[in-house]
Structure 1
Amino acid sequence: MTKAACRWASSQYNKGIIGTNRGQGWKIAKCDISHAKCSGISLGRNIVPTIDDDKVYPHRIKNNTIHDCGQTGIIGVEGNPSPIIEHNSIYNINVRQNLVSDDVSAINLSPAIGAKILRNCIHDCTRGIWLGGKVEDTQISRNVFYNNSLPDSFEVTNENREDLVAALGEDIEIKDSMGVTLIDNNFLLSDYALKLESKGVLLVHNLINGSVEWLSNTNVAENDPYYHRLYQQNAPESAPYDSSCFYNNVFIRKNLRSEMAKLIAFAHKQASEQPIDNHISDDNAAYVGLASGQRSYIPANKAGNIFMNDEQEDVKVAIDSSEDGVFLNSNICDYLNEDTSRVIAVGVTPETARDFDTDFLGKHREGISVTAGPFDTKEEYSQRLFRLLF
């Protein structure tokens, strides 16, 4: 399905090449969807349908190739119940940069309630995933992101920098998280990997090779290995979970191209000057495995992470894509030790907490000692990350 001149998609006008309107339970699979003026697939409508038996029938978007659309690959608004977006190849979204706003991304959900975004490959888009409007019980897991950024050739000036920041995208941007939003076992490899403008985001076992911006009640520390913190002024000191939390991730600081470094620094300065409202209400806590069946509360928002700096170490991270699929080309195994972290569990009580004991390939992490990052063993870094569909 290709070349549809649908106009700007939003809650007021929610059309794409494929549009579910007020429907539920659609299955969109094995399609090649391309060259929409705005959106490829649109889910939901601002009027939420009434269902007699009170059941929710999620949309399932699986095994599609979605590319060369002007605004979004997939957009969802009100009336978009618990979508499952799995194993799609999404690329070349908004590459012409003729549309600019938060509503531009490969996957854009507002709200994102009960959404599952799993095993997708998203690359060469302005932005990978944008979630906002109300984000609750949502998981972003086992995806590959790369080259989601501005084009290679641009120059930052005093006259154009605000326009460039408006067009600047990330692998993942989260706003308005009302509970724990899970980001686990992903490869986040673009220049601007994460922008977390909300508390209540839990990041576990990701490989992050790009700039990170996250909300904190603590002022920005110079040379902070976790990159840039958005300081929430006049916020009371609170529990560590009144923030975003990072457990068992691998951070590789990227040596950004000079113009991108200037632009991201300006974007961070702008973001730090903006007031941020947060209304998180969630009782989940994080626990670390001690021994079989035993868990201990983690009184901090960071634990078990590995940090590398490509300016100090010769760490290389790149993507190779061919007809055989998408592979990681990296020497990270030379710097990464196995089983240096402990298995993480999240839940209301230690007894009912959920273990993060499955890695990127779906393999079980054995025991309580685990390896930071998406893979449980170093040999898995030679495995295919994504099988191309078309």
Structure 2
Amino acid sequence: MEYHVAKTGSDHGQGSQEDPFLTINKAASAAVAGDTVIVHGGVYREWVKPKFKGLSTKRRITYQAAKGEKVIIKGSEHIQSWQHAEGNVWKVVLPNEFFGNYNPYALEVSGDWLVTIEETKHLGDVYLNGMSFYEVSRFKQLIDPKVTTEVLDHWTRKMVPVHNQEQTKYVWFAEVNADNTTIYANFQGADPNKEFVEVNVRRSCFYPQDTGIDYITVRGFEMAQAATPWAPPTADQPGLLGANWSKGWIIENNILHDAKCSAISIGKEASTGHNYRSVRKDKPGYQYQLESVFSAKRNGWCKEKIGSHIIRNNTIYDCGQNGIVGHLGGVFSEIHHNHIYNIALKREFYGHEIAGIKLHAAIDVQIYHNRIHDCSLGLWSDWQTQGTRISKNLFYSNNRDLFVEVSHGPYIVDHNIMASEYSLDNVSQGGAYINNLICGKMNHWKEMTRSTQYHLPHSTKIAGFSFIYGGDDRFYNNIFIGADGLEGVGTSHYKNHTASLEEYIENVHKNPGDAEIFNLVEQPVYINNNAYLAGAEPFEREKDKIVDKSFHPNFRIVDKGEEVYLSCELPENFDVFLGEVHSTATLARVRIVDAEFERPDGSEVILNTDLLDMQRVEKSPIGPITLLKKGKNYIKVW
């Protein structure tokens, strides 16, 4: 069955092309497995809540924009009843019934791991011709530019500058009483009744209310301006668009922006814990996160019921917390060919759950061919990064590119460009870093206060727990580029680590005891055939390598909008310094999990295509692109 929705339709219609429905929700209340909902051009101000699920990959329910037509779903409402208050400040008084049971101007940004908020922020927002405003906490801050500047400067000093300083003079403040919500905003001389002004009203744009709404496709929409809440891994994690603890969604070819917190959610739901650390305050969030994994298992967390989503070809920008977020619910998924930028640069609030992509328990998740830039943190894979592959991604102009935290592997990071000044935080073990170009600071440290889960291979079944001893990592065929004044680029931080599992075991058992003797010896690392330029430094025991501290590659990422180019120079001996193709057969098993590097289906993984999907032959150039050569390079990478 094919249903049609159009702005000229009626919800009393038949839903046919000749007699379309008016709202997408009306179609969502009718569409069942195998049906398609085609939405025609226009702006739809509603929260679409799919009612029925698809039954398989072949019998899914598809929601798509009509071919060649622009369809926008918004969580906001257009407001034209502004009254002049004082100076450049206008106000609008809205009855609380206008918001239903979800008033973003009464609801605070709050929850576990939200930190460094001196002033309460709310989920609401004001938009002038699409540009979001900044919230202030007192009416005086709307009137006095000096007070407003001091407040915003406080934030930019604490973290990093917002990405649009001119925007910071546009501010709003709200008062909510038992009957009404009054929103004040400084429009800097614009008349809000003549310009296009919107305010947040709905939590989401497309998100089922019930869990288990499986096999849904969402294609070709623009969605924006949703009042999404803070989404830590110990809470319900709703997004502007999301699957809500379901299986088999396809989210593709959408433009998503201006989520207050998160745009796409493939995360957990509230029954497995909801901000207990903040509410109960009796245990650390770490403990509640441990418990949420076991709670999820009792609630049916497994490959047969949860995850296996595909998120591809989306453009995601201007969100306060995440472009894509998820804990537990994103297992066995694929995330590829997405363009994610301007995430968490507005800096109205801050916490430990912020990144372009922030996933916990990314078991067997494949993250590849994404362009991630101008984010507070590009990609953060936290807890249970096992069977995960981070491949052929382009990171640049981020405050950090990649963070892998308290995980035990096996996970693969291959053929990526990490071009920011801060490339990698590695607080995990069991990783394989193959054929990357890494141009920034790298940090590596142990974590001996938090023991986290690992799993049976390709499963959600828990096999054990471990601390992060540091090491058990593999670095082959990478190019490291340093810079003046930049420390930590390269693999020298593995100094004093053993260089094989056999050596490690021999050294451990020179001492009597059990658990304590494993803390006395550094885990093995497997490091060879890397290039270290412009001050980057190698692991002391690496045998085959290029080290040229004085050679400066003049590396640049040239962003031309739709296209991105890599520009660099490489030394004369680069062409003769070749690397083998790595695979399951060449990568040593990880120690703690006792597992091999494999594909999600358990078959052999072979890293034989580069960032441009060009075939690698045995003994080919190191780095992410086989076209790299000595001398000058200028290569299109997006």
Q: Same fold (TM over 0.5)?
A: yes
Corresponding residue for residue 424 of structure 2: 194
Take 2:468 and 2:388, find their aligned partners in 1: how far apart are those partners? 29
Take 2:444 and 2:324, find their aligned partners in 1: how far apart are those partners? 25
Corresponding residue for residue 472 of structure 2: 243
Alignment deviations for residues 139-166 of structure 1 (CA, whole Å, 9 cap, x no partner):
00000000101xxxxxxxxxxxxxxxxx
Q: Does 1:68 align with 2:318?
A: yes
2:635 to 374, 383, 388: 383
Paired amino acid for 1:148:
N
1:24 to 220, 224, 247: 247
2:532 to 294, 302, 307: 307
Q: Does 1:86 align with 2:352?
A: no
CA contact (8 A) 1:16 1:38 kept: yes
Take 2:562 and 2:570, find their aligned partners in 1: how far apart are those partners? 22
The 3 A distance-change label for structure 1 pair 5 and 345 is: same
CA-CA distance at 1:245 after TM superposition = 1.7
CA-CA distance at 1:52 after TM superposition = 10
The 3 A distance-change label for structure 1 pair 242 and 210 is: closer
Alignment deviations for residues 184-217 of structure 1 (CA, whole Å, 9 cap, x no partner):
0000011110000011111000000000112479
Alignment deviations for residues 249-270 of structure 1 (CA, whole Å, 9 cap, x no partner):
00001335xxxx6xx89xxxxx
Take 2:328 and 2:302, find their aligned partners in 1: how far apart are those partners? 18
Aligned partner of residue 336 in structure 1, secondary structure: helix
TM-score by length of 1: 0.71
CA-CA distance at 1:383 after TM superposition = 3.3
Deviates more, 1:5-14 or 1:121-130: 5-14
The structure having more radius of gyration, on CA atoms, is: 2
CA-CA distance at 1:24 after TM superposition = 1.4
CA-CA distance at 1:100 after TM superposition = 2.4
- Structure 2 runs not aligned, ≥5 long: 1-222, 273-295, 448-466, 489-500, 502-523, 536-548, 590-595, 598-602
Corresponding residue for residue 370 of structure 1: 620
CA-CA distance at 1:23 after TM superposition = 1.5
Aligned partner of residue 583 in structure 2, secondary structure: strand
Aligned partner of residue 329 in structure 2, secondary structure: coil
The 3 A distance-change label for structure 1 pair 52 and 3 is: closer
CA contact (8 A) 2:266 2:307 kept: no
2:377 to 127, 140, 146: 127
Take 1:333 and 1:28, find their aligned partners in 2: how far apart are those partners? 43
By relative contact order (CA 8 Å, sep 6+), the higher-ranking structure is 1
Q: Does 1:137 align with 2:137?
A: no
Take 2:580 and 2:609, find their aligned partners in 1: how far apart are those partners? 13
The 3 A distance-change label for structure 1 pair 21 and 53 is: closer
Corresponding residue for residue 258 of structure 2: 35
Q: CA RMSD in A?
A: 3.2
2:404 to 174, 177, 196: 174
CA-CA distance at 1:53 after TM superposition = 9.2
The 3 A distance-change label for structure 1 pair 306 and 43 is: same
The 3 A distance-change label for structure 1 pair 203 and 216 is: farther
CA-CA distance at 1:302 after TM superposition = 0.6
Corresponding residue for residue 600 of structure 2: none
2:481 to 238, 243, 252: 252
Paired amino acid for 1:33:
L
Q: Does 1:332 align with 2:570?
A: yes
CA-CA distance at 1:55 after TM superposition = 6.2
Corresponding residue for residue 5 of structure 1: 227
Take 1:56 and 1:13, find their aligned partners in 2: how far apart are those partners? 15
Take 1:54 and 1:19, find their aligned partners in 2: how far apart are those partners? 19
Q: How does 1:333-348 map to 2 (within 5 A)?
A: 336-347=574-585
CA-CA distance at 1:12 after TM superposition = 1.2
Take 2:573 and 2:440, find their aligned partners in 1: how far apart are those partners? 18
Take 1:205 and 1:307, find their aligned partners in 2: how far apart are those partners? 13
TM-score by length of 2: 0.45
Take 2:572 and 2:634, find their aligned partners in 1: how far apart are those partners? 13
CA-CA distance at 1:337 after TM superposition = 2.4
CA-CA distance at 1:36 after TM superposition = 1.0
CA-CA distance at 1:323 after TM superposition = 4.5
CA-CA distance at 1:360 after TM superposition = 1.2
Take 2:267 and 2:229, find their aligned partners in 1: how far apart are those partners? 16
The 3 A distance-change label for structure 1 pair 335 and 193 is: farther
1:98 to 310, 333, 348: 348
CA-CA distance at 1:319 after TM superposition = 1.3
1:205 to 422, 435, 456: 435
Take 1:106 and 1:246, find their aligned partners in 2: how far apart are those partners? 25
CA-CA distance at 1:314 after TM superposition = 2.8
CA-CA distance at 1:346 after TM superposition = 2.9
The 3 A distance-change label for structure 1 pair 383 and 313 is: closer
Aligned partner of residue 383 in structure 1, secondary structure: strand
Paired amino acid for 2:637:
L
CA-CA distance at 1:371 after TM superposition = 1.4
The 3 A distance-change label for structure 1 pair 3 and 324 is: closer
Take 2:426 and 2:236, find their aligned partners in 1: how far apart are those partners? 27
CA contact (8 A) 2:369 2:391 kept: yes
Q: Which has the higher helix share?
A: 2
CA contact (8 A) 1:207 1:249 kept: yes
Take 2:303 and 2:623, find their aligned partners in 1: how far apart are those partners? 42
Paired amino acid for 2:386:
E
Paired amino acid for 2:626:
D
Corresponding residue for residue 113 of structure 1: 363
How many aligned residue pairs are there?
308
CA contact (8 A) 2:366 2:388 kept: yes
- Structure 1 runs not aligned, ≥5 long: 150-169, 218-232, 236-240, 266-281, 283-298
Corresponding residue for residue 270 of structure 1: none
Take 1:335 and 1:309, find their aligned partners in 2: how far apart are those partners? 15
Take 1:234 and 1:56, find their aligned partners in 2: how far apart are those partners? 28
CA contact (8 A) 2:446 2:468 kept: no
CA-CA distance at 1:363 after TM superposition = 1.5
CA contact (8 A) 1:317 1:332 kept: no
Paired amino acid for 1:199:
Q
- Taking every aligned residue pair, what percent have the same amino acid on both sides? 30
Take 2:329 and 2:562, find their aligned partners in 1: how far apart are those partners? 38
